[in-house]
Each structure stands twice: as structure tokens, then as C-alpha cells.
Amino acid sequence: MTLSPGSEPDRGAARPRESPCGGRPLHGIREGGRIAGVTTSPDTGPHASLTSLSPDELAAFLTSRQQEYAALRRRGLQLDLTRGKPSSAQLDLSDRLLSLPTTTKDRSGADVRNYGGLEGLAELREIFADLLWVEPEQVVCGGNSSLTMMHDTIVHLLLHGGPDSPRPWVRDLLEGGVKFVCPVPGYDRHFSMLASFGIEMLTVPMNEDGPDVAAVEALVRDDPAVKGIWVVPTYANPSGAVCSQEVAAALVGMPTAAPDFRIFWDNAYAFHHLTEQEAKSADVLTLAAASGHPNRPVMFASTSKITFAGAGVGVLAASAENKAWFLRHLSMGSIGPDKVNHLRHVQFFGSAEGVREHMRRHRAIIAPKFAAVDEALTRALGGLEVAGWTRPTGGYFVNLDVLDGTAARVVALAGEAGIALTPAGSSFPLGKDPRDRNIRLAPTFPVLHEVEAAMTGVATCVGLAAAERLSAGG
Ligand SMILES: Cc1ncc(COP(=O)(O)O)c(C=O)c1O
């Protein structure tokens, strides 16, 4: 079926399907497709499959995309879809913080301007405990970055070992190596952090319901050098996947050769819903305690994409033993966190419900941008069977899989046309996507009309790169 540009494609038969990487349902590529390396679905769209075209038709398609691309370049765009940052309008939602706090004492009467209170303000820990389905006693509120808390946790494990470690991890690192399981596609900074320590990364597929449990189990069962796994459980970066209670239970319960195996449960997008169907994060600390491995998960979250990305509050939650261990090491480098900022956040939110309400205001700003991404891709690529993409229900990213071997070309074409995209492969350890097909789109930062313009351009580049490759016999 071919529709004129701008008309609504018939999505009646469109059906989500497994992504080629086993991730969230993607839209746009057909199942059982004829293009090697691309998983496909009985999706519909305005276009006929590129592979069904005769050589002449393919040549005509290539010419039309080349013309479209030349016109795109002439527009002299300067657009940026690289990083998942809140937009100015989102930051404005929290501007009242700039005049808070209005008092200097916390609930207990302690002066927040002074030293002390390493675990963070009790009233802020209560708010996060409510939001994350944990107990306030399990929570630490820290500085402005949860990534720093993840980094600190790994540094402490390396230098000192955890409560249940036979020895500091650095000894293993020097005598044979330490390995981490990395679900892919995943968060680039998780991977670069491990690379900076010389920790080896073993990839497993990120499925629609979380990491591929069978693949993880096979890696951790017999190898004591495998010490940890990253999990972004809610609206994962970049696939948007939500880890199910079953997958969480399997991960905390599975046998591991390392007695001090750690799940870095990075719940950065726990409350970042894009629809009314608000996913609930799996209750990982309770599940871990029930399965006899209370120290296995360490949970992280922050207000970076709730209030101010540069001036929010990072959060860690863990078993009593893990928390005491973390604070013991933290106390060697800090006499207490920025409690003024904690109190400011308490006064701003008032309660956990205040946070949820605030997130609905974010949703009103960013949900149209995600819709614009889907519309642009569907309009230009629907039915071509050369790209698949997620329609996430939360988080900050759209995962775009293009024809194998064309992601780097798409990013280069877009760059030359003034549209900055995250480098191809950045969602894989060491930036190496073995199939060169994955692109992470981050639509939150630009204003809506820029997202529309950028995505129309990206879709042109995807079509052009695919036509080039197919014309070359790829
Ligand atoms: C999965 C994930 N974790 C952590 C972070 C950074 O968190 P923070 O700002 O709290 O350091 C990000 C930011 O993009 C992220 O995507």
C-alpha cells in the first residue's frame, strides 16, 4: 500500500514484534523478511518493501532519496538528538527550587547548613522509599549524581571487596580479570565506566521483559570472575524495556560462582512514564532477601530527569549490610551530603505523590516528541522493511535498528546534514555494534518542531543508506 506523504498509514495490521536484538517490540520491519540480519514483522506502512522492488524501481528509489538528501543538506540544519537531556521547558518545571528551602532545619531539628547526616535527610529518604518500593532504612540520598554512586560502589568493591567478598575485586582483576554481564543495547556510560577499570564486558540480549535470563545464568553459573550485571529495569536506556517481576526474581535467585555477585539495578527512569499505563518496577530488594541473596542487588535512582539534571539528588538503596558497607567507605571521603539541596527537594515535592504529579507535567512536554519520532519514521520508512524502532511507554530514548551494516553510514549522513546523532554502536561495550545497525535516538532536548525536522531528516538518511547498500548488492 502506498499513501501520499502526510496521510495516515493504515496501522490496522501493524503488530509489535521482537526486536532483532531480542528487545522491545519494534515497528517497521517485517517478520521472515528477505533482508539478511533484519528481523521483520507483518507490519504495514505507506511503502512497499525495498527488497520487493525491481532493479529499475530500486534505482529510482535511490535517486529520489539522493535528491531528498541534497535538499535536506541545503536546509543547513543544526539539530542535536545525541543525549538524553531534559529540555529547557522541563527544567523550568522545577524553577521553584531556586527559591527553596525557606527554612534551615530538617524535621529532626538539625541545621541542614552544617556537616553531618551522611545517609541523607530522613524525609527525602522516605519519599524515595515510597517511590521505589523499599524501606526508608534501606535508602541513602547523596549528591547530584547516581552515576557517581555507581562508580563509588565499584571502586569500593575493587579496593575493599563487599560484605561477602573473599577478597577485594582488584586482586581478581590483576590475577585473571573481572567480568560483568552487559545487556545490549545498553547505557554507554555503564560500559565506559567498566572499560576504564579494565573490567571485561560479556554481552547478553536485552529482551522486552529484561535481560535474557538463560544467557545470564549460563555466564554466571561457573565463572567466579563474573562479578556483576547492569540492569536498567524500568524503561531501559535505550530499548525502553521493563524488567518483569519474574526476570528480577530469576536474577536475584540464580546460582552464581561469585559469592559477591552484584546486580547494579539502575532505576534511572523508574517514574518517567510516557503513557497512563505506568510500569511498576520489580521489587528487587525484597525478592533478593527472600531468595537468600539480600546483598546481591544495589539499586540506584536520581532526580536528574525529575528536577535539575545538574543539581538533583542521587539515591542508592540496598540491604542493611550493603548500606552500612557503602556508608562506611563513603565516610572516608565525606562528612555529609548537600542537605540544603535535600531539604529544597523535600519542600518542592512535599510527598511521593508530589513527585508523581510532577512527572505527569514532564510527560505532557515530552510525549508529543516521542509521537513525532514515530510519525516521521512511519511516514518515511513504514513498510520498506529496512528499519525497526521502539514505541516506548516511558524513559528517554527510542531504539532505532536500521539495515545491518548501515548505522554508521546513517549517522554520518545525518551529521553532514547538520543532525547530530549518538555515534553508531554507542549502546554497545567499547562502542562496537557487531551488526552496525543500532542507533539511539534522544528526542527530549530539542523543541517539538526541531524533533520533527530532525526525524524527517534521519528517516531520509536511513532510506538512502539502505538503498545504497541494496543497490550495491548488500
Ligand atoms: C540509565 C542511566 N543511568 C544513570 C544516568 C545518569 O544518572 P545521574 O544523572 O543520576 O548521574 C543516566 C543518564 O542518562 C541513565 O540513562
Residue ranges covered by each domain of the chain:
33-88+357-471, 116-350
Q: How confident is the model at residue 42 (pLDDT cuts 50, 70, 90)?
A: very low
Percentages (nearest 5) of helix, strand, coil residues in the chain: 40, 15, 45
Residue 25 pLDDT > 70 = no
Atom of ligand 1 nearest to the CA of 303: 10
pLDDT tens sequence across 196-210: 999 999 999 999 999
Does residue 7 have a pLDDT over 60? Answer: no
Q: How far is the CA of 146 from the centre of ligand 1 (A)?
A: 7
Q: Hey, whose CA ends up nearest to atom 15 of ligand 1?
A: 268
Q: Summarize pLDDT for 46-64 with one digit per residue, the tens.
A: 788 998 999 999 999 999 9
Instruction: Give the ligand 1 atom nearest the CA of 396.
Output: 16
CA of 250 to the centre of ligand 1 (A): 25
Res 267: pLDDT: 98
pLDDT at 278: 93
pLDDT of residue 474: 65
Alpha carbons 447 and 353: distance in angstroms, whole number: 28
Q: Check residue 47 and give its pLDDT.
A: 85
Whole-number Å distance between alpha carbons of 309 and 329: 26
Q: State in Å: Cα 268 to ligand 1 middle.
A: 6
Alpha-carbon gap, residue 125 to 130, rounded angstroms: 9
Sheet of 438-441: strand order equals: 26-27, 387-390, 398-402, 438-441
Which one of 192, 242, 266, 267 would you pick to mutate in the ligand 1 pocket, going by the greatest count of ligand atoms within 8 A of its CB? Answer: 266
Best of 81, 147, 426 to mutate for ligand 1, by most ligand atoms within 8 A of CB?
147
Question: pLDDT band at 8, cuts 50/70/90?
Answer: very low
The sign of the torsion formed by the CA atoms of 207, 213, 214, 215 equals positive
For domain 33-88+357-471, give the fold: Aspartate Aminotransferase, domain 1 (3.90.1150)
> Is the domain covering 116-350 a CATH 3.40.640.10 domain?
yes
Locate 311 and state its grid cell: 543539581
Q: Is the pLDDT of residue 333 over 90?
A: yes
Which range, of 16-20, 51-55, 229-233, 346-350, averages the lowest pLDDT?
16-20
Q: Is the model's pLDDT at 265 over the cut of 50?
A: yes
pLDDT of 83: 84
Q: Which amino acid is at 254?
A: M
Pocket test of ligand 1: the residue of 151, 182, 191, 302 to mutate, having most ligand atoms within 8 Å of its CB, is 302
Percent of all residues in the chain with a pLDDT value above 70, rounded to a whole number:
91
User: Is residue 43 predicted with pLDDT exceeding 90?
Assistant: no
Does position 31 have pLDDT exceeding 50, yes or no?
no
- Tell me what pLDDT residue 34 has: 33
Give per-residue pLDDT as tens, 164-182: 999 999 999 999 999 999 9
Residues in the chain: 474
> What pTM did the predictor assign?
0.92
Q: Which atom of ligand 1 is nearest to the CA of 85?
A: 14
What's the grid cell of residue 157?
568493591
Atom of ligand 1 at shortest range from CA of 145: 11
pLDDT in tens, 123-150: 999 999 999 999 999 999 999 999 999 9
Q: What is the pLDDT of residues 198-253, one digit of tens each?
A: 999 999 999 999 999 999 999 999 999 999 999 999 999 999 999 999 999 999 99
**H helices present in 121-164, as ranges:** 122-132, 146-160
User: Distance of CA 454 to CAs 102, 331, 382, 394, 459, Å?
Assistant: 42, 47, 17, 21, 9
Q: Is the pLDDT of residue 404 over 80?
A: yes
Q: What is the mean pLDDT of the chain?
A: 91
Ligand 1 site residues, Cβ closer than 6 angstroms: 84, 145-147, 187, 232, 237, 266, 268, 302, 304, 314
* Average pLDDT for 147-162: 98
Instruction: For residue range 74-93, list pLDDT tens digits in order.
Output: 999 999 999 899 999 999 99
Query: Quick one: which atom of ligand 1 is closest to the CA of 232?
Result: 1
pLDDT at 44 over 70: no
Q: For residue range 417-465, what is the model confidence (pLDDT) as tens digits?
A: 999 999 999 999 999 999 999 999 999 999 999 999 999 999 999 999 9
pLDDT at 4 over 70: no
% of the chain surpassing 90 pLDDT? 89
Ligand 1 atom nearest 301 alpha carbon: 10
Burial group, residue 107, by CB count within 10 angstroms (0-12, 13-18, 19+)? exposed
First to last CA, the chain: 25
Question: Which residues does residue 26 pair with via DSSP β-bridges, in sequence order?
Answer: 17, 390
